[in-house]
Structures are given as C-alpha cells and as structure tokens.
A and B are shown apart, each in its own frame.
Chain A
Amino acid sequence: MLYREAGDFKTSYVKDSQTFPIKADRMAYFALLAVAFGVVPFLINDYWANAVFVPFLIYAIAAIGLNILTGYCGQVSLGTGGFMAVGAYAVYKLMTTFPDVPILIHVLLAGGVTAIVGVLFGLPSLRIKGFYLAVATLAAQFFLVWLFNKVPWFYNYSASGQITAPERTMFGIAVTGASTPAWAKYLFCLVILVALAWLARNLTRGMIGRKWMAIRDMDIAAEIIGVNPLTTKLSAFAVSSFFIGVSGALFFAVYLGAAEVGEAFGINKSFLILFMVIIGGLGSMFGSFAGAAFLVLLPVLLKNVLVGGLGWPTDLAAHIELMIVGGLIIVFLILEPHGLAQLWRVAKEKLRLWPFPH
C-alpha cells in the first residue's frame, strides 16, 4: 500500500535509470543519509563508534571493493587481508614521512599504492580461474604479510615491528591517534564510504561495470564480443584494490591506531571479507553493506545478549555465538541462496504487491 511505484511516472531516461527508481526508496535513502550525517554524530559515544559504527563503515568499504572484483568481475580473491595491509603500511609510511599533509590525501594515496600492488597480483587471473585463482591470491596474502613483518623499513625500524598511528588532523580536528573524538572517526569514515559507494555504484552501471559483468558471466563470450580481458580484469583488480587499500588505511589509522601485520591483516581477514560479500550477495551494492553489517554487528549483538542479557559465562557464550552465526548462515542460504541482498529484493517485491498478491 505504502510502498509502490504506481503513480510514480518518469518523464526522462535519466530519471528512469537512476539508482533508486521508486520514490519511497529514494526518500528512505535520503532519510538514512540525513540520519547518518545529521543525527548519529551527535549521539555517538566511544563504545558505539569503536564497537559498531566505525568497523562497520570500514568493512563496508572493503566489502564493496571485494564485491567489485568477485561479485561484478567474477574473480574470487582471498588476498584481501594482504591488500588491506598494503593500504595500512602505505598510509603509515606517508603519515610519518609527510606529517603536514592532510590525512585524507594520505588515505587516498594509500589506496592508489594498493591499486598498483593489486594489479601486480592480479596478473595470474589472466591464466587461472575459479577456486584455483582464489587459492592463488592466497600467495599474495601470505607473501605480503611476510614482507611487512620482515623488512624493517616498513615499520620504521621499531623494536617489535608494530606500527602506531601518530595524531593527524583534518581541519584542525584529530582524526587519528588516541585523542580522536568518536564523532570525528565516525564522520571521517562515513564521508569516505559514501563517496566511494557513490563511485562504485556509478562505475558498476557504466561501461566498465558492464565489461566486468560480461567477463564474469562468461569470459570467452565476452572476449568474442570485443571486451578486452586483460584491461577489464586488471581494471577490476585495480579498482577493487583501491577500495580495499583505503579500507586498510582507515582500519589501521582511524580504527585500531596500532597494528601488527600478522594479527590484524592475517588470512582470517581475507576470509571474513569474502564471507561478507557472499553472505550479503554477490554483485550487489546493498549486499556489501548487508554482509558487513551481518558479520560485524551479529557477533557484538549476540555477545551482548548472551553475556550481558542472559548472564552466561563468556566462553560458553563465545562458543554458542559461533554456532549461531554458522547456523544462521546455513539457514539464510537455504531460505535464499543468493544472499541477503536477494532476500531484500524478494521482500521488496512482496511489499510492492501487498496486500493484493495476484
């Protein structure tokens, strides 16, 4: 009744092909942005920023990045953790070498560095496909982690090999370092996320996105109709790595503040982000957000309910939490194999027809 497209007439092609063609969707989107920018920063405290919002925003960037590569271009990658590490170490080196440049520029440059590394490790994709490629990208993961652990230049020769983000500011407000206010962290990540999501959305529905999808659906057929697999696959690696590099830079500089490569950017991170993308829905912008939310928020939520709400011992709660997350993944899959995004799509479809389903 409330959610429908009847009466929502489009008079131009531009309007017809906009991201949210349905008015209610558009309004909801703007309302969400308004809340995110106008309300949340005033309410947010350290706990909500550090436990929920900031990791969610950063993981969403990484998930969008991986979704471009895996969901849109069909190249399964397990090197995400390694690429995030590239972003983190790039931003660290830049921050400490050029302390006076605004941090935003460093973060974007770190993304650029990661894009170059990503293209390099994307080269095997021209030969190798499917799960074989996934395992091949693990080579990148392990090699990069080893490299950052081994070469002292990357961590400025500190005694233990940890990197620590010094305080850097934007417009005179600390964005990194310990004294950063919660809202500043949140807003900084939010602005970058919104900008990058907008970029990704428009890339994926433009020519380059169509090329990616052609390669994903069948690379030989795509080649025959004139899509160059070399530039297409490598551009996907570059764009995806840029996103992942930015998220890695934020993850280290804004969220963690100090990092150790094997622990913060290990193989688990690669799997985690791949899980987000698959659970959220491959080839869907909404899916990247939904997947990140699912895997960031659900454990926190479960922990709070089981330990805080029901008063269980923490170890039992942690084990049961694993079982619930695993069980939910399976249940969602059986209900809807194409991820949360598809579930959302089906729900909207039903809502549009409601209350007259026929």
Chain B
Amino acid sequence: MPDQLLYAIEVSLNGLMAGIMYSLVALGFVLIFKASGIFNYAQGVLALFAALTLVGLQQGQIPFSHVINAIFGTDLHSFGWTLPSVVAIALTALVMVGMAWLIERLVLKHLVNQEPIILFMATIGLAYFLEGLGDVMWGADIKKLDVGLPQGINETIDAVTFNAFGYGFFIDNLDIIAAFVAAALVLSLTLFSQYTKYGRALRAVADDHQAALSVGISLRFIWVLVWSIAGFVALVAGIMWGSKSGVQFSLSLIALKALPVLMLGGFTSIPGAIVGGLIIGMGEKLFEFFAGPLIGGATENWFAYVLALLFLVFRPQGLFGEKIIERV
C-alpha cells in the first residue's frame, strides 16, 4: 500500500479514538438536556471538579487546607493516606451524587418551568461557582491523576500492522480503554433506561414533563438522579482526560471539544453523541492531515465546528436529534 494511504488510515483510526474521548464529555450534556431541557454549561467544570476531588481523596489532601492555613495560620496539607483508586472513585461518585442533590435543592427547584435560556444561565452561574470552589477546596496547581490506566503505544497493534503493511500503526492504550469505557457506559445507560423502574421514569420525563408528573413521577427525584448520572459521566471523562494531561483548570475546557459533537449528533440522542464524536474526531484529524500542511495547521478547532455546521444545514436538529415540529 502507498504510504500516504497508510498514514491516512492511521490518522483516521486515531481520529475515531479521539472522537470517543469527545463523546465521553458530550454524553453528560445529552443526559441532562434530554431529561430536563437544560443546556448544562457547567458540564466541563463538573468534569474538572470530579477529577480534582478524585485526586484529592486519593492522595489524602485536606480540602480547604489553603483557606484554613490562611485564616488560622496552621500548616495543614494532608491526612497522610493514599486511598486505592477504586475506593477513591467510589467516594468521588458519592460526592457527585451529593452535589447533584445540592444543585437540585438550591438551584433547580427554584427554577422549575423557566425558559431554557434562563436555565442555561443558571448553569453559567453554577460553572463559575464550581470553578471557584474546586480551586478553594483543592488548590489551583496541576495534579497528576493516576488510577492505573495504561498509556502509550499499543505494542500488539504496532507489531501486527508492521508485519502486514510494513508500517506500524500508533494507537494509544488509553484511547482503547476509553473506547471500552464509552461502550460500557452507553450499554449500561441503555440497559438502565430500558429495564429499570427509574429508567422508565427517566424516559417518561424526557418525553413529556407534565404527563410524567400527572402519573406520579417525582420530577425532582428524576432531576437529582439525572444530575448524579451526569456527574458520574463527568467523573469518567475527568479520569480519562486527567490521565492524559494532569488535572487543573484547563480540563474544564474540554467542553468546547464536545460542543460540535453534541450539535452534530443531536442534543437528545445518546447514540448521537457517540456517532457524532466519531465523525468529528475522524473529520478533524483527516482535514488536518490533508489540508493542514497547505493552509498552515492548527485547523482542528474550527474545522470541527464547520463540519458540524455542514451537517446541520441538512439536518437542523442534528443527525439523531428529535425532529423539530413547529405549529403556529
């Protein structure tokens, strides 16, 4: 095979993998939008907060130690333990559930029945707040997140492709794991929503708030539930991205990579988030590969949006979004 073709295949494969990483973030948006019609601006910050909490718990950092030290003049830093990853992840998931409960209690409860843009704005406030809180609790320095996920080139794929084509493909182990995690996440979310009582309630709410209320489904409970799940998804995204780049403020910016995915796949579709991620990931990488050298590189950021825009012109509700029916 000619080199150029091999390279293009390698780039596409990596694009697909990167797309899955984007999908992980997009999933959280979809869940909340589906169940409550809220465009959750805070999803990226949620991922950051989850990752910060995970690292903090794992390394036994004392929350708010900086404030305590500043006020009382003490010199506290650490509880002096290191938790195993599994325990820390479980505890962080609990924290995210608690947070979902608080968000419902303090914010959403008061804003039932408001227009989408108002709820969007509430999540902006939430994003600011959590960003500040994360920094105050755990500090703004960069942290290493290590839950034992393997990273680096996958030797098997490298060797197999090298023998077959004379050029070893590069696939990152972390990306492969992310693919499995995303698959497991989607599978369990589907199972949950199809075969459990709460899942059915969730779908009922997503379908029609008022009808759901009238058959006795507690909207508030569903909101706590869906924010908890979104918090958990944010934790997964935080772990994956955090292992890649370390945990600090920039982690919250991954939300920007998820937006084109979201709009391409449709705000309301879980499979859409995955398929959208794959298309965006592959599209932007291939464009960078072919057009980048001609027009100067660093095209990925805008090309993802332009690609999504092209799809939207033909399907204004995204690939898998619910068809918009308008009546006068």
Contacts and interface: CB of A to CB of B under 8 A. Distances in A.
Q: Do A's and B's CB atoms come within 8 Å in the complex?
A: yes
Contacts of A275: 121, 124
B131 interface: yes
A291 to B, nearest CB: 11
A323 B305 contact: no
A334 B132 contact: no
Contacts of A145: 302
Q: Name A's interface SS.
A: helix
B66 interface: yes
Contact of A320 (B132, B299, B313): B132
Q: Which of A141, A150, A330 has the largest count of B CB atoms less than 10 A from its CB? A: A330
Contacts of B290: none
Nearest to A149: B298
B96 to A, nearest CB: 18
Contacts of B256: 267
A138 B305 contact: yes
Interface stretch (B3-11, B111-119, B145-153, B240-248): B111-119
Contact of B136 (A132, A142, A319): A319
B141 to A, nearest CB: 10
Nearest to B295: A150
A127 B67 contact: no
A329 interface: yes
B53 to A, nearest CB: 16
A328 to B, nearest CB: 8
Interface residues of A, number: 49
A224 interface: yes
Interface string A28-53: 00000000000000000000000000
Q: Which of A142, A278, A312 has the largest count of B CB atoms less than 10 A from its CB? A: A142
Interface string B286-325: 0000000001101101100110110011001110000010
A267 B117 CA distance: 19
Contacts of A320: 132, 136
Q: How large is the interface on B (under 10, 10 to 19, 20 to 34, 35 or more residues)?
A: 35 or more
B291 to A, nearest CB: 12
B184 to A, nearest CB: 28
B312 A128 contact: yes
Contact of A327 (B67, B129, B312): B129
Contacts of B185: none
B313 A323 contact: no
Nearest to A335: B110
A322 B313 contact: no
Interface stretch (B76-84, B162-170, B225-233, B260-268): B260-268
Contacts of B140: 315, 319
B111 A326 contact: no
Q: Name B's interface SS.
A: helix
Interface string B189-228: 0000000000000000000000000000000000000000
B31 to A, nearest CB: 15
Given A131-B39, A220-B328, A326 B131 contact: yes
A243 B127 CA distance: 28
B187 interface: no
Contact of A321 (B130, B132, B324): B132
Contacts of A279: 121
B129 A330 contact: yes
A142 B267 contact: no
Contact of B317 (A132, A325, A327): A132
A323 B306 contact: no
Contacts of B120: 131, 278
A146 B107 CA distance: 37
B252 to A, nearest CB: 12
Given A322-B132, A322-B135, A218 B127 contact: no
B259 A135 contact: yes
B66 A316 contact: yes
Interface string A210-234: 0000000010110010000000000
Contacts of B125: 325-330, 333
Contacts of A127: 312-313, 316
A330 B41 CA distance: 13
B57 interface: no
Nearest to A70: B117
Given A128-B312, A131-B267, A135-B262, A334 B111 contact: yes
B302 A139 contact: yes
B180 interface: no
A253 to B, nearest CB: 26
B128 A143 contact: no
Contacts of A278: 117, 120-121, 124
A135 B306 contact: no
Contacts of B128: 322-323, 325-326, 329
Interface string A308-352: 000011011001111111111110011001100000000000000
B117 A326 contact: no
A57 interface: no
Given A135-B262, A279-B121, A316 B136 contact: yes
A129 interface: yes
B126 interface: yes
B260 A135 contact: yes
A145 B256 CA distance: 15
A330 B122 contact: yes
A136 B304 CA distance: 10
Given A139-B306, A327-B129, A124 B313 contact: yes
A330 to B, nearest CB: 4
A124 B315 CA distance: 12
B125 to A, nearest CB: 3
9 contacts: A146-B298, A218-B328, A220-B328, A313-B70, A315-B66, A322-B128, A322-B129, A330-B106, A337-B115
Given A128-B316, A334-B111, 20 more contacts: A129-B316, A130-B116, A135-B259, A135-B308, A141-B305, A145-B302, A150-B298, A218-B328, A220-B326, A282-B117, A319-B135, A322-B129, A323-B129, A326-B124, A326-B130, A326-B132, A329-B125, A330-B122, A334-B107, A337-B114
The 4 A-B residue pairs with the shortest CB-CB distance, nearest first, are A326-B128, A326-B129, A322-B132, A329-B125
